[in-house]
Amino acid sequence: MFVDTKDMFKKAYEGGYAIGAFNVNNMEIVQGIMQACNEKRSPVILQISKGAREYANPLYLTRLIEAAMEEFPDIPVAMHLDHGPDFELCKAAIDGGYTSVMIDASHDPYEENIRKTKEVVDYAHAKGVVVEAELGQLIGEQFDEGEGGKMGEGIYTDPKQAVEFVERTGCDSLAVAIGTSHGAYKFTKGEPKLDFERLEEITKALAGYPLVLHGASSVIPEFVEMCNQYGGHLPNAKGVPEEMISRAAKMGVCKVNIDSDIRLAMTGVIRKAFAEKPENFDPRKYLGPAREAVRQMVIHKLEILGNVNHI
């Protein structure tokens, strides 16, 4: 059943766990995620990025999700627009039946971020849709002080500013920057480190309010090695240690975005299938194992997030 994220986040906040938000691009990913959530009895956020909409056509992705919900009717599913860059795309998603959208104006100046976010919030709330926004900047890599940027200066989220931002925009959840980054090459300049003191300060300042963690894939070495073993080239790929994600889920983070880990699992398994049976040209023979890799990865992530048996 389609739901928004309000009830999901309330239960997650009170229960000290986080909802997995998994990016979907094709049928096998949708099936693998939903099979895992059915097995672990977990509510889920299926999110679609601008790039996924351009790749697969929004209509196809929506119909795939609807089919999965028909197969698993008791799994609460929020269909979410990930990183909507402007009002027009957020409006299209809202009008297209999404139950949640993200407006990401985090790279704009602060006042412009507020203006763009509030514009989306006003339109979405009138339609019964919830809105995620972002304050602080996640880039290809987050830098520590002395390595290209300073905490609180356009990169890490300022706790006091976060309170004002939520009050002025009315957004329903907020993605914060505490040291995570997008992609498979996080922390290449040093050891993994998240600013949990900053997260705790934000959580206290916004008591009971759901926070979101982007760029939180762990880039599991097993699948990096599998990709490289069978012809890939992912040198020094590194992600967020899973114990850090589990800790964040107990500190007001109610939604954790996961994309790169699914991509790595699928790609590693497909590369392995091609290498071991180069004569195969039946997509079912390599997409089937890839779907199973997605299922297993999502089960693992749900356990890390503590999102098990919450239906």
Distances in whole angstroms, Cα of residue 223 to Cα of each of 5, 34, 218, 260: 31, 21, 11, 11
Question: Cα-Cα-Cα-Cα dihedral of 112, 115, 118, 120, to 10°?
Answer: -80
Q: Computed from CA positions of residues 257, 259, 264, 265, in that sequence, does the dihedral angle turn out positive or negative? A: positive
Catalytic position from the list 4, 74, 82, 144: 82
- To the query of whether residue 82 is one of the catalytic residues in this protein, the response is yes
**Rounded-to-integer distance, Cα 87 and Cα 68, Å:** 28
Give the chain's largest Cα–Cα span: 60
**21, β-bridge pairs:** 45, 257
Q: Cβ neighbours of residue 235 under 8 Å, at least 6 residues apart?
A: 228
What is the DSSP secondary structure assignment for residue 225, as one 8-state letter?
A: H
CA distances from 194 to 41, 188, 212, 223, 259 (A): 29, 14, 14, 23, 19
- Rounded Cα gap, residues 208 and 46, in angstroms: 23
Q: Which residues are catalytic?
A: 82
